[in-house]
Amino acid sequence: MLNKYARAFFTRVLTPFASFLLRIGVSPDAVTLTGTAGVMAGALVFFPRGEFFWGTIVITLFVFSDLVDGNMARQAGISSRWGAFLDSTLDRVADGAIFGGFALWYAGTGDNNMLCAVAIFCLASGQVVSYTKARGESIGLPVAVNGLIERAERLVISLVAAGLAGFHAFGVPGIQILLPIALWIVAVGSLITLVQRVVTVRRESAEADAAAATTQDSGAV
């Protein structure tokens, strides 16, 4: 849902920056790789130590590379299947690092096995939600459903909560509870989205199979 409305806005905002990078000779692939490395560093260096505010700041600075690289490719007229593949693949890597960072915190100093498991579920379910759409499209189905919690929602909910929870280190009492709440919301929302996509693929595949059978029967006549 957020992806539909926010992407167009931020694409317009970041267009001048994308143009500048092209002028100085930076490639879209370099931006993709740098952005992913920055997100991974922010998540895996800061989050396992409980430094959620600074980790979120670092991640936020780099996460917009996901919009900049595509913008650059379109401006330069070099959009390609490789670029789309690289971008999508590294998105999964970045997402894994973010929720992996949360899991490491709760497995260590955070000392909460339940929330560690929830963070791992968020990591795994996010990957599977993306896979269901990609797999459905690869077998020729439209997968015409967005779902309740997509990547944009997962990132916004978890990172906003993590950033706010980080104010606990600055003396704000009780605010750290926001991160567990956000992880539970993402976990439940991702499960619902997964079910929505599986049901949609099942329905579309049944319709496609029925249409193919009707076509074969008509041909036989």
Q: Which two tokens stand for residue 54?
A: 């600074």
Q: Which two tokens stand for residue 155?
A: 């990132």
Phi, psi of 77 (to 5 degrees): 70, 35
Q: Could you say which of 91, 95, 209, 217 is catalytic? A: 91
Which pairs from 195-201 meet CB under 8 Å and 24+ separation? 196/145, 196/147, 196/148, 197/129, 197/132, 197/133, 197/136, 197/143, 197/145, 197/147, 198/132, 200/136, 200/143, 200/144, 200/145, 201/132, 201/135, 201/136, 201/141, 201/143
CB under 8 Å to 36, separation ≥6 — which residues?
62, 65, 90, 93, 94
CA–CA separation, 75 and 22 (whole Å):
9
CA–CA separation, 98 and 44 (whole Å):
7
Q: Which two tokens stand for residue 15?
A: 């267009």
Classified as helix, coil or strand, 20 is helix
CA–CA separation, 199 and 139 (whole Å):
15
Task: Assess whether 29 carries a catalytic annotation.
Answer: no
Indicate which residues carry an active-site annotation: 91
